[in-house]
Amino acid sequence: MDTSRQIARRLLEVGAVKLNPHEPYTWASGLRSPIYCDNRVLLSFPAIRTEVVEALGAAAGAVSDVQGIAGVATAGIPHGALLADRLDLPFIYVRSSAKEHGRRNQIEGRLETGKRYLVVEDLISTGGSSLKAVDVMRAAGGEVAATLAIFTYQFPSAERAFQNAQVPLYTVSDYATLLEEATAAGHITEADAAALADWRQDPRAWSNAYEAAAQ
């Protein structure tokens, strides 16, 4: 079994991913979503946590001359730290905004000017938090070799955003693979899988259609 399928199975197995097109979840943005993903759940399962960091390490091998790992706060911090430990590389993390007290840092740890960092995120949705971290690091003099995440929703808009920012994106599992595994395991029906696939193409239109049908 390839890594993408194995990680997708693990996400479903421990409930890190929940799928419900009939009673969708509400995101912070207000959009209704038939999927909820929280990869922090993986941290509570040592064997699976090890599998994930091994997969991240293998994916990191595709990126040349990585000299440090940068986690995106907050969910990318533990996975990034585990990867940095495995690869024996320096680790930093990037906050969404600078602290309002103390040294008012936005980057925690020591970013070395000119060094090439691999940015680690747990999940890619719009890509906004990862690319904001990239901007902060570049402004501080760091170089970003790529972004690496456990899972991606594969939104076309996010893929374009990474291309426009000239940041290669690598993930160890993805939405399409997850749907295949969820269907095969009986977590969802073929009709559910079709609805979930439609959502990925245009989440806002899907959300609006759900709200209209529910009224």
**Residue list for the binding site for 5-phospho-alpha-D-ribose 1-diphosphate:** 95, 99, 101, 121-129
Among 140, 119, 132, residue whose Cα is nearest residue 165: 132
Q: Which residues are annotated as a binding site?
A: 95, 99, 101, 121-129
Within 10 angstroms of residue 13's Cβ, the number of other Cβ atoms is 13
Closest CA to 158 of 135, 133, 130, 122: 130
Residues at the binding site for orotate are: 125
Pairing of strands 25-26, 143-152: unpaired
Q: Which residue has the tokens 């970013």?
A: 111
Burial track 71-102 (b if 16+ CB lie within 10 A, e otherwise)? bbbebbbbbbbbbbeebebbbbbbbeeeeeee
